[in-house]
Amino acid sequence: MISITKGDITKFSVDAIVNAANSSLLGGGGVDGAIHRAAGPELLAECRTLGGCETGNAKITKGYNLKASYVIHTVGPIYSQSRKDECQRQLQSCYKKSLELAVQNGCKTVAFPLISAGVYGYPKKEALKVAVETIEEFGKDLQVTIVLFSDDLIDITKEMFGELVK
């Protein structure tokens, strides 16, 4: 089951929230910075043991001070129009691998931000389409929420996926 809602993902009480990380897994801006601030320094300490993460892959840690039990860190593609097919495959892989990790760790409820749609420049409408389609394909056993952060995205989303917006 999938729904789309507006909010701050760091506040969500779900089994796992997904982080739009970079390949170092050592923090950054955007949602990554917000998650590290809310989880506390133990999150960074665990991330330091993971040896980074390739684009399109995902790794899991505990949630520390978050309400979520786990954080799944995935690394989206840095968008480039000239490599758009590859970027799309990598973005699909982020959702698929994150959902697999969630299931392997016994999670039932998962919240995703819109991976790559901020600093990494993936066109928001396309990023949303990839998110919804990939979660519909691979997230059947989970209750998944896509968490949007801004009003402009909510308007696009209602046009595209009105029935999923909660």
Site residues, ligand AR6 (CB under 6 A):
8-10, 20-22, 28-32, 34, 76, 113-120, 147, 149-150
Least Cβ distance, residue 21 to ligand AR6 (angstroms): 5
**CA pair distance 62, 115, nearest whole angstrom:** 20
Least Cβ distance, residue 26 to ligand AR6 (angstroms): 8
- Among residues 102 and 128, whose Cβ is nearest to ligand AR6? 128
For residue 66, give Cα distances in angstroms to 35, 44, 70, 123, 134.
Answer: 8, 13, 8, 29, 26
- Among residues 31 and 99, whose Cβ is nearest to ligand AR6? 31
Measure the CA dihedral 21/24/26/28, to 10°.
-50
* Strand duo 58-62 + 70-75: pairing: antiparallel
Measure the CA dihedral 161/73/108/87, to 10°.
40
Least Cβ distance, residue 139 to ligand AR6 (angstroms): 18
- Among residues 6 and 141, whose Cβ is nearest to ligand AR6? 6
- Among residues 118 and 139, whose Cβ is nearest to ligand AR6? 118
**Of all helices (H) and strands (E), which one includes residue 147?**
strand 143-148
Least Cβ distance, residue 140 to ligand AR6 (angstroms): 24
